[in-house]
Structure 1
Amino acid sequence: MSPFKLAAAELRRFRGHPIRTLALVAIILIPLVYGGLYLWFAWNPYGKLDQMPVAVVNEDTGASVDVNGETQQINGGDQLVDQLKEDRIFDWQFVSANKAAQGLKDGDYYMVITVPEDFSTHLASLSGTDPEQATVEFDLNDANGYVAGIMASTVEAELRNQINTAVYVTFATTIFGDLAQLNQGLNDAADGAAELADGAATAQTGAGDLESGLGDLTTGAQQVADGAAQVSDGVDQAVDVAQPVVQTLADNWTQIQTGASSAADLADRADTDLDTVYATLCTDNPDADADACARLQTFITDADGANTDIQAANDQIQSTSTDTLDQASEDLTTLQTGASDVADGASQVATAAATAESGAGDLADGLTDLHDGAATLASKLATAAESVPSTNPADDADNAEAYGSPVAVSEQNLNPAETYGRGLAPFFIAIALWVFGLMAYLVLSTVNQRALAGPLRSVPIAVGGWLPGAFLGVLSAIVLYLAVELGLGLNPKDALDTVGLSILVILTFTAMAHLFKLAFGTAGSLLLVVLLMLQLTSAGGLYPVETTPRFFQALHPLLPMSYVVDALRVTISGGETSHVVKALVILAVYLVGALALSSLVVAARRRWKPDSLNEPLQV
């Protein structure tokens, strides 16, 4: 007979009566009841903190502070209460001190937050020379549940942020007075600085254009200066030549006029005499030679022209006085001086244009600095305006994290579990599967007595006794996975690996349970309970194993549940595959080892003893 037939024979024992069938169904559902219900109730308790009643007692009487000669009323307690109303971390209950104390005692409140009457007074002292620290009281009662206090402490940082923000707003009021006016003033200043930056940018562009234009002007002025210098040099040369000549003419002009007059008279007489000669020789002489007369007439015509020019020149000479020539000499000197002055002026213009160009460059650089400075000022003023606390408690509640904790801690989780229940799922799934093995063999037989007395070998008998529990365990593991996945949203990173690993776990745990029950009978069940307790405390499912006593640290690598928890964490949340491979190897060793030992136990039990008929302990 094969082990499978032995297993089928064992399962057939539960036919015929509904109670028997229900017993098998109950065994299958045990992991679901244990693991599923526990994960259900603890899946995400921190997501419902806003349903935990917490009392808030505000006894603050407020305070008066002097701000710029004016009395300013502040009340940090009211500010904190208004912020808490906007941020429902807990189910806030704003009550009197007596009611809060009685409620904490009776268990109506899990925590009491008290703002003392001198809260604002101490805050106001921060602006003086003798500052005092303000306090807020937190009262807990572990009689209402120690874990509730731990849960409350997990959001203590957020509570401190809200308290610090209320302090920040109140203290800023004691220093600056009306925060709304301060905020508006800083915003106006920021806008003005921004406009100044825009104007500086425009001026900067104009200065750049001016620098470019002055550069062109400098180039042109230098060219003019060079030309004026050349003209001045040419005038100097011309004057140096012409002025002595003019001065000599002026000195001898009277004689020149006399000579010119005489020359003019002589030319006029010669012209007249030539006309007389022509008349005598040609006009009045019939024997005159025509060719000679023609040549003579041509000569007389030329002489008339020369005489006309001489007479005109003489008239010009006679009309020019010595004073005119002296003035011309002086004008040449003036021209020489003026040309030199023009050259010097052109050079000065070129130099001034170069200086202006450099100044325009400095102006552009200065305007750039002005623009950058104005932009920085606008940014700083805007930042300062934003940092002024709002007078709206709702805004302050939203900004409490920034005000209360100016520096944020950037946290990265390589494989986030996301919820409390999902993080604990590997631990409680492992426990539930172990409990199945513990309970299964309270109902199932560990060995077929007929086969034990027959010729069948010990190994098939042992495997046949284990298979019914293994088969029901596989069904139980699948039911548990489906319930947690569909009901709670387990959403493992690798569903197939999670299911496959769970099946291997239940096969191993049922093999171990079968071994203990087979070897020790009822005492085996007790040993399985003890082993469960040891694994609960050493598997590292709740706390890091390094934080446990050395006894449990020593047990950690020896017991299978440690590897099951590590491997399920990887298949559910992600992580190193090596943890899964290691767990598969360890579980396979435990499985094969348990079945081998079960076979040895079966072989030993085939030797009949008195205890074989009557077990010493039965439940």
Structure 2
Amino acid sequence: MWKIFARDWKSISTNWVAMILIGGLIVLPSLYAWFNIKASWDPYSQTDQLPVAVVNEDEGATVRGTEIDVGKDLVEELKGNDSFDWQFTDRETAMDQLEYGDYYAVIVIPDAFSEKLGTVVSDQPEKSNVEYYVNEKINAIAPKITEKGASVIVDQITKEFVSEVNGTVAELFNELGLELEKDLPDIKRFEEYVFKLEENLPEIYDLISGAYDDSQNAASIINDVQGLLPRADQVTRESLGTIDETTSFLNEAEQRLNEVAPRVEADLKKAQQTAEDVNSFINDVQSVDLDLTGVTELKDGINQRTSEALEQLNTVENLLKQVQEQQQQNGEENPENGEENQNQQTGSEASQETVNQALKEVERIREGLQSVQNDTGRLEEQLKDSQTEIDQTLTTLEEKSGETADRIDAFLTEYKENIEPKFLQEINQAQQTLSDARSILTEAQSTIPQISQILGSTESNLAEGQDILEYMLNEYPYVNEKVNQMADRIREIQGETDINEIIELLKNDPEAEESFFKEPVSLSKNTRFPIENYGTGMTPFYTVLALWVGALLLVSLLSTEPVHTSEYRSYEQYLGKLATFVSIGFLQTLVVTLGNLFFLKIGIAESLYFVLFGLGISFVFMTIVFTLVSVLGDVGKAGAIVFLVLQIAGSGGTYPVALLPEFFQNIHPFLPFSYAVDLLREAVGGIVQARVKTDVIRLSIFAGVFLAIGIFLKGPLHENSRKLMKKSRESGLFH
């Protein structure tokens, strides 16, 4: 083994051509890794080099008096955005350039974009759409990147729109919260009103029922009153006639009184004079001795004067009785006691009372004069008795005549000062009362048509009110049920929520709410094993791939058999040549791993482990590839290439295993790439001991299996593989 290994390196060191070729084989795999890693270093930071066209056809819109133009705003924002090489153009140019391949994608904002966004405030909102066109034949990755860019634009528009709408809603909620807080006393009062209404509904029902019954009674009363209006109009007209007649009578009575008053006064004065003459006559003859002849003359003188006084009193009495008869006649002509007749009757009663008193006074004066006449007649009878009795009689006559004269004088004074003024005053009052009554009746007569109209309107309104009351009575069960439900719901809400909490929930900062809905969830990224960039993340895969490619290059260019095979046993040949290949593989590994660290300056968490893990992986890969070729010859080379193809797709080096087709997911555990890539990822990002242990054990198993194959099967299989190689070379197509 050692002789084979030493001879190989001696040959390399003493042959400059071999040295150059080996040097190339050592460096060449590293170039494969470095170029791929560098190319994929950070491709997403270079998307500003991808030309993407933007076509703005948005015509804007007016939403509740506010002009909006989302397309224009988006274009202005993209002009300051360096995510892509934005090209702002028209639809036709954009589509031509897209087909030709100058543009990777085209984003079109349609004409109704803002208009549809504005429908969010309507009862039938419509979704806006952004048209996205992509030419996928240009590049496999570019469409995915540009599609992500289009999605970012849509997300940005949505975010801005949602934040704006929610900001507006938050502002409305804030205003609503403040308004609710302001109206909280009214809300509490409303709750009390509902509970009060619930409590008083039975009483309200009774009142409505009573009002409905009263309205029916009122309708009946109105009909009765309407039936009496014609009679009232007739009575009013008759009463006006009566008042006019009574007024005319009072005017006549006043005129008659004015005419009679001087005559009454004159007759009373004559009666007074006569009474005084009688008194004077009696006084003259009182102390004279009288004979029968003288007594007769005296008697005749007294009777004559007394008769004259009585005639004058009769004249006064007749005048007063005429006034009394006229008053009674007026009362008989107006038997109906309306308001105006009552007024008239009151004045007439007062006047009649005055006339009756005057007649009584006249009657008393008459009685006194008649008493004088009677006593005068006794003179002749008493003359025979004695002079003394005559004197007593004359004294009595004198007293009575004097009293009569005084009474007439007092009556004359009473008549002038009280009876006549009072009678005239009563007549004037009656005239004023009748005038007022006439005005009232005239106004009442003019009001009767209005009353008739009002009663008709009232009857119509009352009928309508009856319909309403009847409707209310019919609707009462429904209203009662709903009010009870409302009251129960309020009590339920009061038990579940507090309106003060609702108000506090509605009150907010609109700007803070808008900012919240613009980004309701912020991603707080906490990287457990940070990777600087995409290139760093791809380093494990491309490094492992370079080590396998390096092994393939070695078995393709270098011989897997020693020069003098007869000198060594088969396992010695296998192990001796394997040592040469592994040592060159280690050099390849050192170049690629150290180049990653110091040439590309990849940020690797565990640099030493990265190199050591690389050396271990190189040993496993070289063992596998060398064993396949050493044991199977050209068939082994083909197997190593097939193995490479399967591992590129199924190791999970580029895409997660869960995203791979089922076939590759099934073979993934049986591929050395799977554990090699994972082992280098531990060194790049940060070591987890359990995973490292698992990966090392699995790789060791692969190495052990292929070492056993090489040691124990090289001899038995080598002669057959040699014959196959010889036969293939005879074709002149293989070396």
Q: TM-score range by the shorter chain?
A: 0.5 to 0.7
2:510 maps to 1:384 = yes
- Which one-letter code corresponds to 2:109 in the other structure? V
Q: Cα gap change, 1:101/1:167 in structure 2, threshold over 3 Å: closer, same or farther?
A: farther
2:95 maps to 1:101 = yes
- Which one-letter code corresponds to 1:453 in the other structure? S
CA–CA separation in structure 1 for the residues paired with 2:69 and 2:654:
45
Post-superposition offset of 1:438: 0.9
* Partner residue of 1:423 out of 537, 544, 548: 537
- Secondary structure of 2:531's aligned partner: coil
2:520 maps to 1:406 = yes
Larger displacement relative to structure 2 (440-449 or 120-129): 120-129
Paired residues of 1:56 and 1:92 also in contact (CA < 8 A): yes
Match of 1:473 in 2: 585
2:622 maps to 1:510 = yes
CA–CA separation in structure 2 for the residues paired with 1:55 and 1:608:
64
2:663 maps to 1:537 = no
Matches within 5 A, 1:286-297: none
- Which one-letter code corresponds to 1:470 in the other structure? V
CA–CA separation in structure 2 for the residues paired with 1:570 and 1:601:
35
Match of 1:325 in 2: none
CA–CA separation in structure 1 for the residues paired with 2:645 and 2:589:
21
- Which one-letter code corresponds to 1:13 in the other structure? S
- Secondary structure of 1:572's aligned partner: helix
Post-superposition offset of 1:166: 5.0
CA RMSD of aligned residues (A): 3.5
Q: Cα gap change, 1:449/1:592 in structure 2, threshold over 3 Å: closer, same or farther?
A: farther
* Partner residue of 1:92 out of 86, 98, 119: 86
Paired residues of 2:116 and 2:126 also in contact (CA < 8 A): yes
- Which one-letter code corresponds to 2:629 in the other structure? K
Paired residues of 1:162 and 1:404 also in contact (CA < 8 A): no
- Secondary structure of 1:113's aligned partner: strand
CA–CA separation in structure 1 for the residues paired with 2:721 and 2:630:
15
Q: Cα gap change, 1:609/1:24 in structure 2, threshold over 3 Å: closer, same or farther?
A: closer
Paired residues of 1:54 and 1:92 also in contact (CA < 8 A): yes
CA–CA separation in structure 1 for the residues paired with 2:718 and 2:95:
71
CA–CA separation in structure 2 for the residues paired with 1:102 and 1:504:
55
Match of 1:59 in 2: 57
- Secondary structure of 1:93's aligned partner: strand
2:546 maps to 1:432 = yes
- Secondary structure of 2:41's aligned partner: coil
- Secondary structure of 1:26's aligned partner: helix
Match of 1:463 in 2: 575
CA–CA separation in structure 1 for the residues paired with 2:165 and 2:51:
30
Paired residues of 1:164 and 1:403 also in contact (CA < 8 A): no
CA–CA separation in structure 2 for the residues paired with 1:609 and 1:31:
28
Q: Cα gap change, 1:62/1:547 in structure 2, threshold over 3 Å: closer, same or farther?
A: closer
The TM-score, its normalising length taken from structure 1, stands at 0.59
CA–CA separation in structure 1 for the residues paired with 2:49 and 2:704:
50
Match of 1:393 in 2: none
Match of 1:23 in 2: 21
Match of 1:497 in 2: 609
Match of 1:296 in 2: none
CA–CA separation in structure 2 for the residues paired with 1:45 and 1:607:
51
- Which one-letter code corresponds to 1:146 in the other structure? A
- Secondary structure of 1:556's aligned partner: helix
Match of 1:41 in 2: 39
Q: Cα gap change, 1:606/1:161 in structure 2, threshold over 3 Å: closer, same or farther?
A: closer
The TM-score, its normalising length taken from structure 2, stands at 0.50
2:705 maps to 1:593 = yes
Paired residues of 1:433 and 1:509 also in contact (CA < 8 A): yes
Match of 1:453 in 2: 566
Paired residues of 1:110 and 1:141 also in contact (CA < 8 A): yes
CA–CA separation in structure 2 for the residues paired with 1:144 and 1:115:
24
- Which one-letter code corresponds to 1:58 in the other structure? N
Paired residue total: 408
Deviations, residues 292-315 of structure 1 (Å, cap 9, x unaligned): xxxxxxxxxxxxxxxxxxxxxxxx
CA–CA separation in structure 1 for the residues paired with 2:720 and 2:99:
66
Deviations, residues 6-51 of structure 1 (Å, cap 9, x unaligned): 1231233345665432211121123212222111111211122222
CA–CA separation in structure 1 for the residues paired with 2:148 and 2:530:
18
2:486 maps to 1:488 = no
CA–CA separation in structure 1 for the residues paired with 2:118 and 2:628:
73
Match of 2:671 in 1: 559
CA–CA separation in structure 2 for the residues paired with 1:481 and 1:417:
17
| Structure 2: tracts of 5 or more residues without a match | 179-499
- Secondary structure of 2:669's aligned partner: coil
CA–CA separation in structure 1 for the residues paired with 2:605 and 2:166:
50
Paired residues of 2:104 and 2:143 also in contact (CA < 8 A): yes
- Secondary structure of 1:88's aligned partner: coil
Larger Rg: 2
- Which one-letter code corresponds to 1:524 in the other structure? G
- Which one-letter code corresponds to 1:39 in the other structure? I
Paired residues of 1:160 and 1:404 also in contact (CA < 8 A): no
Match of 2:129 in 1: 135
2:665 maps to 1:584 = no
| Structure 1: tracts of 5 or more residues without a match | 177-181, 191-371, 389-398
2:122 maps to 1:122 = no
CA–CA separation in structure 2 for the residues paired with 1:608 and 1:148:
51
* Partner residue of 1:50 out of 43, 48, 58: 48
2:635 maps to 1:523 = yes
Quote the sequence identity (%): 28
* Partner residue of 2:147 out of 153, 157, 162: 153
Post-superposition offset of 1:133: 2.2
- Which one-letter code corresponds to 2:566 in the other structure? A
Post-superposition offset of 1:58: 0.9
Of Structure 1 and Structure 2, which has the larger fraction of its residues in helix? 2
Q: Cα gap change, 1:54/1:85 in structure 2, threshold over 3 Å: closer, same or farther?
A: same
- Which one-letter code corresponds to 1:536 in the other structure? I
